[in-house]
């Protein structure tokens, strides 16, 4: 009896979480899929009406913009935040004085809700109020920084603020990783006269593969769900040039009372996530185990 319990205990421990996820994640995805084939308006309705919502979605220029933005924003945001986080962690790991203070400064943006921080960023990035105005005040009359009000560049300000908010957390993850690398190996490498950058690129960074996985998942999740960020910073504007799928979906579901349309956009969003994340997960888990 106790043996049986012992062998099945791990499964029993995992079971409640597994069931909850199946129900509340995959069950709800199924629900969304169903609703995306209906003409639900204000509240969900369940009579199937074919693929009309998807046709509407693909005919919408605003959705095109939102998808383009997701790729631009998602790629830049993940790559920059990851590189910056790693770089800051490596630099902070050089026996820096008052490391605690600097680390807290890098980390704190994550603690703030974007509802108001967005306003602060908006002021800083606004050409007439913020940086541009300040630098011009110093005598550099030709200095221009008007990304926020330029439809072609506004999405980059969203990247700027997004990186500001999240790179500190990534830095913390990498810092924890750096500190758990076996010092003996590094000392041995140093004795052998291997240059520092080689030690990092060949020994330390590869040993942090699971941390890259965590960082990637955290960042990808933030990129795809970026909602507060856009709403607070640009409100999707100028025009709808900084719209993302998440803001599109929210607008459809809750401001416009078009739940069927929102569900179809959610399904496309999840397919994109699936296409990007699943191969990555597969290779990561494959490489590490089995």
Partner 1 sequence: MKFTAYAAVSALALITGNAALAGPEAEVLHYWTSGGEAKSVAVLQQEFAANGGTWTDMPVAGGGGDAAMTALRARVLSGNAPTAVQLKGPAIQEWYEEGVLADISNVANTEGWDKVLPASIANHMKCEGTWCAAPVNVHRVDWIWANAEILAANGIEMPTTWDEFNAASEKLAAAGITPLAHGGQAWQDATVFEAVVLGIGGPEFFQKALVDLDPDTLTSDTMKAAFDQMRTLRGYVDSNFSGRDWNLATAMVMNGEAAFQIMGDWAKGEFLAAGKEPGKDFLCASTPGEGFLYNVDSFAMFEVDGDDKRAGQDLLAKLVVGPGFQETFNLNKGSIPARTDVGLDKFDSCAHLSAQDMNASSEGGSLLPSYAHGMALRGAQAGAITDVVTAHFNSDMSSADAVQMLSDAVANSY
Partner 2 sequence: MIDLSMSRPAETHPRGIAWGRLALRFSLYLFLGLFALYYLMPLFVMVTTSLKSLEEIRTGSLISLPREVTFEAWRTAWSGACTGIQCEGLKPYFWNSILIAVPGVAISTLLGALNGYVIAQWRFRGSNLIFSLMLFGCFIPFQVVLLPMARVLGEMGLAGSISGLIFVHVIYGLGFTTLFFRNYYVTIPNELVKAAKVDGAGFVRIFWSIFLPLSLPIIVVTVIWQFTQIWNDFLFGVSFSQAGTQPVTVALNNIVNSTTGVKEYNVDMAAAIIAALPTLLVYVVAGKYFIRGLTAGSVKG
Positions touching partner 1 (CB under 8 A) are: 41-44, 56, 59-62, 122, 126-129, 146, 148-149, 151, 154, 231, 233-241, 251-252, 254-258, 261
Q: Does 9 bind partner 2 (CB under 8 A)?
A: yes
Site for partner 2 in 255-284 (CB under 8 A): 259, 262-263, 266, 269-270, 273-274, 277-278, 281-282
**Residue 174: partners with Cβ closer than 8 Å, 6 or more residues away:** 85, 86, 89, 90, 208, 211, 215
Q: Does 139 bind partner 2 (CB under 8 A)?
A: no
Residue 238: name its binding partner from partner 1, partner 2, none (Cβ under 5 to 8 Å by kind): partner 1
Could you give the string, one character per residue 186-225, with x where binding to partner 2 holds by CB under 8 A and - elsewhere?
x--xx--xxxx--x----x--x--xx-xx--xx-xx--xx
C-beta of 170 vs 262, nearer to partner 1? 262
How far is it, in rounded angstroms, from Cα 253 to Cα 40? Answer: 10
Residue 153: name its binding partner from partner 2, partner 1, none (Cβ under 5 to 8 Å by kind): none
The answer to whether the CB of 69 falls within 8 A of the CB of 244 is yes
Q: Least Å distance between CB 244 and partner 1? A: 15
Q: Which residues of 227-238 are buried (b: 16+ CB within 10 A; e: fewer)?
A: bbbbbbbbebee
CA 94 → CA 87, 185, 208, 217, distances in Å?
Answer: 11, 17, 18, 27
Residue 211: name its binding partner from partner 1, partner 2, none (Cβ under 5 to 8 Å by kind): partner 2
| Number of neighbours of residue 77 by Cβ within 10 angstroms | 25
Q: Least Å distance between CB 273 and partner 1? A: 23
What is the maximal distance between C-alpha atoms in the chain?
82
C-beta of 103 vs 122, nearer to partner 1? 122
Does 255 sit behind a cis peptide bond, omega within 30 degrees of 0 on the bond before it? no
Q: Least Å distance between CB 227 and partner 2? A: 8
Site for partner 2 in 89-118 (CB under 8 A): 91-96, 100, 102-113, 115-117
C-beta of 79 vs 209, nearer to partner 2? 209
Return the residue of 11, 47, 139, 142 that touches partner 2, per CB under 8 A. 11
How far is it, in rounded angstroms, from Cα 140 to Cα 289? Answer: 57
Angle between helices 209-225 and 61-92 in degrees, nearest 10 = 140
Site for partner 2 in 30-89 (CB under 8 A): 31-32, 43-44, 84, 88
Q: How many residues line the site for partner 2 (CB under 8 A)?
A: 110
How far is it, in rounded angstroms, from Cα 61 to Cα 160? Answer: 25
How far is it, in rounded angstroms, from Cα 89 to Cα 100? Answer: 12
Residue 60: name its binding partner from partner 1, partner 2, none (Cβ under 5 to 8 Å by kind): partner 1
DSSP string, 54-109: HHHHHH-HHHHHHHHHHHHHHHHHHHHHHHHHHHHHHHHTTT-TTHHHHHHHHHGG
């Amino acid at each position: 009896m106790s043996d049986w319990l012992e062998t099945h205990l791990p499964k029993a421990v995992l079971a409640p979480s597994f069931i909850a996820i199946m129900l509340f994640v995959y069950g709800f995805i199924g629900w969304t899929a169903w609703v995306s084939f209906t003409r639900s308006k204000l509240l969900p309705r369940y009579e199937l009406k074919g693929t009309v919502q998807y046709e509407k979605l693909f005919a919408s220029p605003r959705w095109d913009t939102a998808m383009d933005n997701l790729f631009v924003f998602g790629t830049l945001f993940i790559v920059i935040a990851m590189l910056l986080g790693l770089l800051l962690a490596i630099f902070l790991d050089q026996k820096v004085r008052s490391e605690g203070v600097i680390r807290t400064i890098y980390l704190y943006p994550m603690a703030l809700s974007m509802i108001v921080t967005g306003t602060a960023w908006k002021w800083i990035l606004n050409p007439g109020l913020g940086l541009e105005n300040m630098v011009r005040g110093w005598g550099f009359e030709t200095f221009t920084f008007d990304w926020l009000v330029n439809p072609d560049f506004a999405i980059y300000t969203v990247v700027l603020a997004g990186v500001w908010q999240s790179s500190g957390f990534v830095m913390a993850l990498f810092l924890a990783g750096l500190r758990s690398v076996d010092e003996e190996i590094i000392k041995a490498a140093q004795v052998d006269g291997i240059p520092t950058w080689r030690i990092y690129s060949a020994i330390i960074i590869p040993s942090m593969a699971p941390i890259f996985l965590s960082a990637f998942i955290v960042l990808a999740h933030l990129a795809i769900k970026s909602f507060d960020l856009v709403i607070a910073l640009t409100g999707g504007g100028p025009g709808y040039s900084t719209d993302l799928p998440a803001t599109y979906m929210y607008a459809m579901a809750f401001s416009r009372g078009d739940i069927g349309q929102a569900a179809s956009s959610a399904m496309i969003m999840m397919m994109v996530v699936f296409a990007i994340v699943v191969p990555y997960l597969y290779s990561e888990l494959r490489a590490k185990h089995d």
